[in-house]
A and B are shown apart, each in its own frame.
Chain A
Amino acid sequence: MYVYDAFDRRLLAERVAEFRDQVARRLSGELTEEEFKPLRLMNGVYLQLHAYMLRIAIPYGTLSTLQLRKLAEIARKYDRGYGHFTTRQNIQFHWIKLAELPDAMAELASVGMHGMQTSGNNVRNITTDQWAGVAPDEIEDPRIWAELIRQHVTLHPEFSFMPRKFKIALGASSRDRAALRIHDMALRLHRNAAGETGFEVMVGGGLGRTPYLAQTIKPFLPKRDVLSYVEAVLRTYNQFGRRDNIWKARIKILVHDLGAEAFAKEVEAEWQGIKDGALALDPAMVAEIASRFRYPDYEKLDDSPPQLAKARRDDRGFDTWMANCVANHKVPGYAVVTLSLKPQGGTPGDCTAVQMDKLADFADRYSFGEIRVGHEQNLALPHVAQRDLPALWRELDAIGLAQTNVNLITDIISCPGLDYCSLANARSIPIAQEITQRFRDLDIQRDLGRLHINISGCINACGHHHVGHIGILGVEKNGEEFYQITLGGKADENATLGTLIGPAVPYAQVADVVEDIAAAYLELRQPPQELFIDTVKRLGVEPFRERVYAAR
């Protein structure tokens, strides 16, 4: 948990005051919409189909219970009693009034939260592995570096009007849980041959109309140089990224057009000029930031206490939940608990104010007052003592947050789609809901094993469809909703873009197609336990294509 100090609070208060003034000028007509739009976007305010939407950053996916309770309060007071967690460690409120936004922002600022740079052509919320600081396979906590970068790019005088948005993600494990390679820039902490830790720097990833995976331009960057290198990349992009065509403005196009090597050369030249200047990090600065990350005062406990094994034997429901939702923690005797926000027939990522408040209570009692938000639109309690798991499970179950579909076919990533979004061409949520109904039998889901469905309602790909094991993209054809299906995408350390299987299918057939694909997999998989994604990799999409289109 990063704790704000007086500097952070002062800056946020000044930002709220500025936005209050901007809103007043817009409402009085001093600012036209054309002038106001970039200003509201820089504060996370979008206009959707029915109302304004406020997107609030949850930097590196870490939330305190104080913050979660404030989000619940915002949901009740200014919105319709719920919020929506996104694929980039943000939460959105979909029904907020422009005139009330400054007050809502002032309340958020009181707990160190904001919507700054959750939209607009600037550096967006810095994301990390949602298990940062607790994952056993992590070499160090990437959030320290995420926070240093977050501060550096906040209200940056040079990079607030770039060609397009810029998304940065960090990871520090061999397993990638932050979808690094679909980001404009990704920084992976690793150890070099000399045993020092530094960053592998990747640039030029992104989905959307022209999907690319990020390419490595610097295999090992010393930690002291991370801010100057980020600055050099952003400066190169700000000057040379295309501004004539919104579809070609992301850094991925610049990297692709120049070639990663030539791009890296430009960056290197720029970086050499600034690396030993004011941005070189001195250890005292890093230590200062690190000192404001609060870590729990863990008890000395043993792994797998006997009462846990007994509870698993006694209750099949609990045992299932343990197997599906509970992961290892780096501290003995503790566990990381994932909370699925994907109820059967519900909206992926939605969470009511009532759930938020209850969850905050649980986090206070069972998880040192901390909650995590992951890019899969699920939440986690990151520090639960294993002996408390049975009690926690009963409490979560009572509010519908003990679902055992994590990483299964109904754990669907979905953008809001045409039900909310003014950019969408087709609906996403009802497609997700129908699929969860078709696969509501948990035994069938478990038999299918790990299987990620990602749904986007337009080519902007907020639902990350390109990297879904099954990707579903909504398009519009002659006024009707159609959906393209891709297979074989994944966003992990072996990131791959999915392959289109054939012509788009109409709205009413999407769930049938998913059932056909699942049935084909069950027939084609190699015993004993070949995963769906591995079957697609081994056989390609052809057998699935045949199955899907044979009857259509």
Chain B
Amino acid sequence: MTSPLDQKKIKIAGPVVITANRVDDGAVVYRSPDGRWTTELGAAAVAIDADSARALAEAAAEDDLNAIGPYIAPVSVLPGGHVRPGNLRELIRLGGPTIELPTPLDS
């Protein structure tokens, strides 16, 4: 778990969001522009420069009661403003395991 504040110098190579896990159930959440957490990547605040990324991350880290281990994650913004995870790990965090899960009622 890397705290964003441990990342002394924030360098970003493109658009980013702040993501973490929700305290009560561990669900993946994203920091929204109004300083809350959302499970919708599309509703996340997207930063495109290091200063605004740092400001978002610092505010997120203050919220230890609601979210665990916030960090800066890359995203890509498609034409039309649709936001997609920027790497495989983030894709899996958003979409769940890439494998078929056992179905509870099968045998």
Residues of A within 8 A of B (CB): 26-27, 29, 32-33, 37, 47-52, 75-76, 80-82, 97-99, 346-347, 350, 352-355, 358, 398-400, 418-420, 422, 427, 429-430, 433, 479-481
Q: Identify which of residues 75-106 in chain B touch chain A, using a CB-to-CB cut-off of 8 Å.
A: 87-89, 92-93, 96-99, 101-106
CB distance from B12 to the nearest CB of A (A): 15
- Give the chain A neighbours of B68 by CB distance below 8 A: 33, 47
- Give the chain B neighbours of A350 by CB distance below 8 A: 102
**Complex contact B27–A419 (CB within 8 A):** no
C-alpha spacing A75/B106, complex, angstroms: 13
- B69 sits at the interface (CB 8 A): yes
**Complex contact A98–B106 (CB within 8 A):** no
- Give the chain A neighbours of B23 by CB distance below 8 A: 26-27, 33, 98
**Complex contact A358–B65 (CB within 8 A):** no
CB distance from B88 to the nearest CB of A (A): 7
C-alpha spacing A398/B101, complex, angstroms: 20
- B64 sits at the interface (CB 8 A): yes
C-alpha spacing A50/B94, complex, angstroms: 8
CB distance from B66 to the nearest CB of A (A): 9
C-alpha spacing A29/B68, complex, angstroms: 12
**Complex contact B92–A347 (CB within 8 A):** no
**Complex contact B65–A29 (CB within 8 A):** yes
Mask, B7-23, CB within 8 Å of A = 1, is: 00000000000000101
* B residues contacting the other copy or chain, number (CB 8 A): 28
Given A99-B24, A479-B87, the answer on whether A352 and B93 have CB atoms closer than 8 Å is: no
C-alpha spacing A429/B101, complex, angstroms: 11
**Complex contact A50–B28 (CB within 8 A):** yes
**Complex contact B102–A352 (CB within 8 A):** yes
- Give the chain B neighbours of A48 by CB distance below 8 A: 26
C-alpha spacing A422/B20, complex, angstroms: 12
**Complex contact A51–B27 (CB within 8 A):** yes
**Complex contact A353–B104 (CB within 8 A):** yes
B contact patch SS = loop
- Give the chain A neighbours of B25 by CB distance below 8 A: 51-52, 97-99
CB distance from A88 to the nearest CB of B (A): 21
**Complex contact B21–A47 (CB within 8 A):** yes
**Complex contact B26–A50 (CB within 8 A):** yes
In the A-B complex, the 8 residue pairs with the closest CB atoms: A81-B104, A419-B97, A51-B26, A82-B102, A52-B26, A97-B25, A29-B65, A352-B102
**Complex contact A354–B106 (CB within 8 A):** yes
Q: Find A418's partner among B1, B28, B92, B106 (CB 8 Å cutoff).
A: B92
**Complex contact A355–B26 (CB within 8 A):** no
**Complex contact A354–B65 (CB within 8 A):** no
- Give the chain A neighbours of B93 by CB distance below 8 A: 49-50
Given A32-B64, A352-B102, the answer on whether A49 and B24 have CB atoms closer than 8 Å is: no
Q: Find A80's partner among B1, B69, B88, B104 (CB 8 Å cutoff).
A: B104
C-alpha spacing A321/B25, complex, angstroms: 42
Given A49-B93, A51-B25, A354-B107, the answer on whether A433 and B102 have CB atoms closer than 8 Å is: no
Residues of B within 8 A of A (CB): 1, 21, 23-28, 64-65, 68-69, 87-89, 92-93, 96-99, 101-107
CB distance from B63 to the nearest CB of A (A): 10
CB distance from B86 to the nearest CB of A (A): 9
CB distance from B96 to the nearest CB of A (A): 6
**Complex contact A419–B99 (CB within 8 A):** yes
C-alpha spacing A480/B87, complex, angstroms: 9
Using A32-B64, A422-B1 as known contacts, list a sample of 14 further A-B pairs with CB atoms less than 8 Å apart, ordered by residue number in A: A27-B23, A33-B23, A49-B28, A50-B97, A76-B104, A81-B105, A82-B104, A99-B25, A352-B104, A354-B106, A419-B98, A419-B99, A420-B97, A480-B88
- Give the chain B neighbours of A76 by CB distance below 8 A: 104
C-alpha spacing A419/B97, complex, angstroms: 4
Chain B CB count within 10 A is highest, among A33, A47, A429, A481, for: A33
- Give the chain B neighbours of A26 by CB distance below 8 A: 23
**Complex contact B107–A33 (CB within 8 A):** no
CB distance from A342 to the nearest CB of B (A): 13
Given A50-B96, A80-B101, A420-B97, the answer on whether A358 and B107 have CB atoms closer than 8 Å is: yes
Given A48-B26, A49-B28, the answer on whether A354 and B97 have CB atoms closer than 8 Å is: no
CB distance from A179 to the nearest CB of B (A): 26
**Complex contact B24–A81 (CB within 8 A):** no
Residue ID in chain A nearest B97 by CB atoms: A419
**Complex contact B107–A355 (CB within 8 A):** yes
Chain A CB count within 10 A is highest, among B87, B89, B93, for: B89
**Complex contact A50–B27 (CB within 8 A):** yes
- What are 19 A-to-B residue pairs whose CB atoms are below 8 Å? A33-B68, A33-B69, A49-B89, A51-B27, A52-B25, A76-B104, A81-B102, A97-B25, A99-B24, A99-B25, A346-B102, A350-B102, A352-B102, A352-B104, A358-B107, A398-B107, A419-B98, A420-B97, A479-B87
**Complex contact B106–A429 (CB within 8 A):** no
CB distance from B64 to the nearest CB of A (A): 5
C-alpha spacing A427/B91, complex, angstroms: 12
- Give the chain B neighbours of A353 by CB distance below 8 A: 104
- Give the chain A neighbours of B89 by CB distance below 8 A: 49, 418
Residue ID in chain A nearest B104 by CB atoms: A81
C-alpha spacing A346/B101, complex, angstroms: 9
Chain A CB count within 10 A is highest, among B87, B102, B105, for: B102
- Give the chain B neighbours of A51 by CB distance below 8 A: 25-27
CB distance from B3 to the nearest CB of A (A): 9
CB distance from A486 to the nearest CB of B (A): 23
- Give the chain A neighbours of B88 by CB distance below 8 A: 418, 479-481
CB distance from B26 to the nearest CB of A (A): 4
CB distance from B103 to the nearest CB of A (A): 7
Residue ID in chain B nearest A352 by CB atoms: B102
C-alpha spacing A350/B28, complex, angstroms: 23
**Complex contact B99–A429 (CB within 8 A):** yes
